[in-house]
Structure 1
Amino acid sequence: MLDIGVIGRLKFATAFMAMSLLLVPAAEAQEQPVWHYGLSLVDDLKYPPGFKKFDYVNPEAPKGGDLRLSQTGTFDTFNPLLVKGETAVGLDFVFDTLMKPSEDEISTAYGLLAEGVSFPDDISSATFRLRQEAKWADGKPVTPEDVVFSFDKAKELNPLYQSYYRHVVKAEKTGDRDVTFHFDDKNNHELPHILGQIRIVPKHWWEGTGPDGKPRDISRTTLEPVMGSGPYRIASFAPGGTIRYERRPDYWGVALNVNVGQNNFDSITYSFFGDREVEFEAFRSGNTDYWRENQAMRWATAFDFPAVKDGRVKREEIPNPFRATAVMQAMVPNMRRKPFDDERVRQALNYALDFEELNRTIFYNQYQRVNSFFFATELASSGLPEGKELKNLNEVKDLVPPEVFTTPYSNPVGGTPQKARENLRKAIELLNKAGFELNGNRMVNTETGKPFSFEIMLSSPSFERVALPYAQNLKRIGIEARVRTVDPSQYTNRKRAFDYDVTWEVWGQSLSPGNEQADYWGSAA
């Protein structure tokens, strides 16, 4: 892994649980389940039963207006569960989930479609009770059958959900408004929480017929505007170009405490761009209303246009106040292919990256190099393992590299010609041990004589500013690295098929690592 990331500013999480309970009469406590109106995986719930609104919203915020946003890439399907195709951004506006996260707490959610969730002491199952008032856009109630259908299809059609919910073995209707999920893993505090994140889709709509008179098929991509239970609907779109979402005046949950003060725009329109530079020009010219910057050079040099000077565009640097999410950003070799399955080769590639020089020349010294998969959080690695961490590692000592116990991890440090040469010499030394040698000015396999060359596949030209200087560094030790930027559809298809040598990846890591880890590292996933 070539760690070149920056401190992340995103907010999302999954993890361990502290629960606040709805009060029940003592006489009934042993006979009836305890229903939880909210779940927290880190701390006690901030908001009490019956709270009116989240503290961070303005209940008097005016309604109206059109919010214009932009998106890099394209889309060719509105199917919210399927892994095929390029799914449209913004579908969260259309589909409600069982629970809704709180933005001023870590890994905390309160009932949305579900008014409560209960589970036995050993957490061998979880039962969600749907709100009686929850309805689809066509006025029909949201039912347990819809929840079971959504879960079953998500696991059937999406490998991510197969891994994420692998311990959820069954979903069934257990009451007029109750649906129960059964687990094969007891005392897993994360499972009730992450089940609240599933997008719930209408079974009757997907099993019905479309405008063309043909039966709908949830296993296929579709550009028919899908129906949901959320606050917006798909009003219009141009395939691959724009999507316009309109606020539903008949939304069932408009007065719900988790929705008060939110969903204020009459419409939200996304415009799609194949190039981020062109996308930025659209923002500069006033064609979009909001821009999230991810490039240090542009942040430092490009925000001098008239709208910034006269105050129409306001710049803010917003840190993640909770450090709730670590961002692992890196160039990732495909370990299914030789020679990237050799740890020495991967280490050599890391030595060939001069992060300090990149930080000075193109990042304006605004970045820090990632040195942990949980960078910038309290879970980030530091020093040697000790305490409970050491105890756990000792239990799998035969499966862990010995240097874990003896040598704190650190990335190579460059930034000067001398350090850069030393790092390249170290890279050559590692490659020699892995079966490569310099033959003239080319690094070749000592057995086959085949030159060491590979392709770095990118999804956006903006990543080329790092990949191209890196390729030049590799050339100095005889490795040919070709940088290729492909269109979004090709990138998605090639990545899903593992048809690449090296690509760019960003992973979010939560403060309480859970089921997602099996998807990151498990061979089955």
Structure 2
Amino acid sequence: MQATLFPFARATPARAFDGQGVKGGSPHHEIIRGFFPIAMRILLLLVAFIFPLASQALAAHGISLDGTLKYPADFKGFDYTSADAKPGGTLNLHAIGGFDKMNPFTLKGSHPDLLSPLVFEHLMVQSMDEPFSQYGLLAQSVEVAGDGLSVTFHLDPEARFSDESPVTAEDVQFSLEVLQSDKAHPFHQSYWRDIVAAEVLSPRSIRFKFRQANRELPLIAGEIPVLSRAFFAKHPFGAEKEMIAPLGTGPYVVEEFSPGKIVTYRRNPKYWGNKRPVNRGLYSFERIVLKFYKDPVVALEGFKAGEFDFMHENNSKQWARDYEGPKFVQKLIKKETLGHKRGAGMQGLIFNLRRPFFQDIRVRKAMVLAFDFEWSNDNLFHGQYTRSTSYFSNSEMAAQGAPPPEELALLEPLRDKLDPAVFGPVQAPPSTTPPHGLRQNLKEAAKLLKEAGWTLGPDKILTDGKGNRLEIEMLLATPAFERILAPYAANLEKLGIALKYRTVDTSLYQSRVHDFDYDMIVNGFGQSQSPGNEQRDMWHSESALIKGSHNRIGIQDPAVDALVEKIIYAKTRQELVTACRALDRVLLAGHYLVPNWHLNYHRIAYWDRFARPATAPLYYQPEDWLLSWWMK
């Protein structure tokens, strides 16, 4: 499943440390400070499903992994919300970059942050304190067929769009059809590809039929955002010629906006879902104003000057040095860390395999060896980070040691397609902690490059003898990562590799990332505790050829494809864990990126104007829980 509470808030990568951000990609994963999901923001809320044994399923208020739900049918609200929340006030927030469209479901352009979670809603909603549960939102109840080949949703009769028109099963059918079409972002086509039909049973009931039984599909169907057929009949989807405020069912409407500068969301006084238990204590702010900044350093100064209210900090240097001053001493601004239980996935400096020089694993290995994490953590990050050693870091999906028999059962049939390293113990990223050292790592890297046919030219840049030089550009969305790349570039220079890093405008960055027009970028691959269909968008050969997909590396490997399918169609939790660990081994052995780092807590600061629930969720991003806060 996707690793986000609001799967379509923004097509971006997972939240990136240390300060680097990206706009463009998938509902998973890849973000800078501000509000994102897609891809891309990464709240790691987890969902999976075990099919009922009965041949005829009964309508239920929710679905879960083991058939049990924390919250009963008559529950009043989630524990991480509060009945004491009172409406009113304005929440001022910020984002980096800009926006040039008002449709969050298409590929081209950039939509304003928060547009999807505040304006559009889904059939079901994920709980932030359970790993594998969904509860009805637009859907009042859900029925999963006993054979696992279909799911039926019954809409709440009170559900309305913001123009007060009723939400119908035809709207839901239209939503699936348009999101599966080539008019939508390619992620949607991939994510819902196994839903083969949407059958309208009545004005408020719809059945989705599946290509084959898949324990995730009922919950994946519940994540479909519901769009208005009538609205898009007047304003054709994907062909918008002007920026028009969208029509959704959510708690807010777009009150006004100035492209690239500011957008104001106003609480809908006639919002249909105020009484739904999944919404108790949420959306209390009368207005949410989102201000856009071009530079994160300027944004931080704006925060301290009171231009907006809340910061989720991803830059360790700024956290250690810049969150101080009279307003912090006077407790006007609060600074704190919030623990969480979510997995970390993987962030790294990724190699684009579409570039010929990165198709040689020896070049990739050499560049991994040249990065000195320990020096960076001590001198740049104030010792705050843990090195990521898995594509499923901080979760049970991470491979460990040598592959046990159950993993070998998946890997052995693929042996002729795999690097022999896959069958040995998982290797940690190169270290410079004694007895290792940078000098030793660079000597090993130089040897690999020589074996790959690269020799030093007269200008001390490696050449392959065919006129090709090992000159690489790292594309950045903000300058915050430059301080990390400077010492790395210096290490590469000792090997004869010229690494140049370039920070470009956010819109240009997004366009180039969508088109795979880069040598290297900083990219995050967020993961949930129940990986599934989204793995196809990140690793499968098919997605490598689809512009805008999350296969940013460009992996086209039949062994990876086979293991992705094993994940998607795993029938039990143990099968899923085994398949993920096997895939993890294969990805790690490929040396497709320079592994970065992660935290097991969130760093936040906010003006002391808010009250909040006594209990925090477990699997969340702070921005998502912020929607449960209210003004004092």
Opposite residue 393 of structure 1, the aligned amino acid is L
1:385 aligned counterpart, secondary structure: coil
2:391 to 339, 350, 373: 373
Partner residue, 1:304: 324
1:183 partnered with 2:201: no
Instruction: State the partner residue of 2:225.
Output: 199
Q: Distance in 1 between matches of 2:413 and 2:327?
A: 59
1:102-181 superposed matches below 5 A: 102-156=127-181, 157-181=184-208
For 1:259, the equivalent position in structure 2 comes to 279
Asked if 1:240 is matched to 2:260, the reply is: yes
Match of 2:527 in 1: 509
The Cα of 1:108 is off from its aligned counterpart by 1.9
**What amino acid sits opposite 2:58 in the alignment?**
V
Structure 1 residue aligned with 2:314: 294
| Whole-angstrom CA distance in 2 between matches of 1:201 and 1:64 | 28
Instruction: Identify the residue that residue 293 of structure 2 maps to in structure 1.
Output: 273
Determine if contact 1:441/1:477 at 8 Å carries over to the other structure. no
| SS of residue matched to 1:180 | strand
**1:178, distance to aligned residue in structure 2 (A):** 1.2
TM-score, normalization: structure 2?
A: 0.76
Give the superposition deviation at 1:417.
Answer: 11
Question: Do the aligned partners of residues 222 and 422 (structure 1) sit closer, same or farther apart at CA in structure 2, a change above 3 Å counting?
Answer: farther
Distance change >3 Å, CA 263–CA 418, structure 1 → 2: closer
Distance in 2 (alpha carbons) for counterparts of 1:375 and 1:310: 38
Give 2:45's aligned residue. 13
1:67 is matched with 91
Matches within 5 A, 1:351-430: 351-414=369-432, 419-430=437-448
> For the residues of structure 2 that align with 1:417 and 1:400, how far apart are their CA atoms?
30
Change (3 A) 1:346 1:430: same
Name the residue aligned to 1:25: none
Q: CA deviation at 1:18?
A: 4.7
Q: For residue 511 of structure 2, what is the aligned residue in structure 1? A: 493
State the Cα RMSD in Å.
2.2
2:69 is equivalent to residue 45 of structure 1? yes
User: For 2:46 and 2:243, how far apart are their aligned partners in 1?
Assistant: 31
Distance 1:78 1:196 in 2: 23
- 1: CA distance, partners of 2:387 / 2:241: 39
Paired residue for 1:348?
Answer: 366
Residue in 2 that maps onto 1:24: none
Specify the code of the residue in structure 1 equivalent to 2:210.
F
2:357 counterpart letter in structure 1: P
How far 1:369 sits from its partner (Å)?
A: 1.2
Contact 2:52/2:146 (CA < 8 Å) preserved in 1?
no
Q: Distance in 1 between matches of 2:43 and 2:65?
A: 15
- Give the distance between the partners of 2:277 and 2:171, measured in 1 at CA: 23
Helix, strand or coil at the partner of 1:317: strand
User: Contact 1:455–1:481 (CA<8 Å) still a contact in 2?
Assistant: yes
- CA drift of 1:402 comes to 1.3
Letter in 2 for 1:189: R
* Structure 1 unmatched runs, 5+: 22-28, 209-214
Matched, 1:522 2:540: yes
- Give every structure 1 segment of 4 or more consecutive aligned residues whose post-TM-superposition deviation is greater than 4 Å: 18-21, 415-418
Tell me how far apart the structure 1 counterparts of residues 245 and 454 of structure 2 sit (CA, whole Å): 55
Secondary structure in 2 matching 1:431: helix
- Rounded to whole Å, the distance in 2 between the matches of 1:43 and 1:345 is 49
CA contact (8 A) 2:45 2:126 kept: no
CA contact (8 A) 1:355 1:415 kept: no
Q: Note the C-alpha offset of 1:297.
A: 1.1
1:358 is paired with a residue whose SS is helix
Q: Which residue in 2 is equivalent to 1:95?
A: 120
- Asked which structure has the greater CA Rg, the reply is 1
The superposition leaves residues 13-44 of structure 1 with CA deviations (integer Å, 9 ceiling, x where unpaired) of 344325799xxxxxxx87x6411211224773
Render the CA deviation track for 1:296-349: whole Å, top value 9, x for unaligned.
Answer: 1111111112221111111121121x33x3231111111011111111111111
Query: What percentage of aligned pairs have identical amino acids?
Result: 38
Q: Which amino acid aligns with 1:204?
A: A
AA aligned to 2:175 is S
Is this contact kept in 1: 2:119–2:251, CA < 8 A?
yes
2-side partners of 1:222 and 1:511: how far apart? 40
307 and 491 in structure 1: CA distance in 2 versus 1, 3 angstrom threshold: same
Secondary structure (helix, strand or coil) at the match of 2:421 reads helix
* Residues 43 and 330 of structure 1, relative CA distance in 2, 3 Å threshold: farther
Q: Deviations over 1:486-523 (max 9, x none)?
A: 11111111011111000110111111110011111011
Secondary structure (helix, strand or coil) at the match of 2:73 reads coil
Partner AA of 2:200 in structure 1: K
Q: CA deviation at 1:455?
A: 0.4
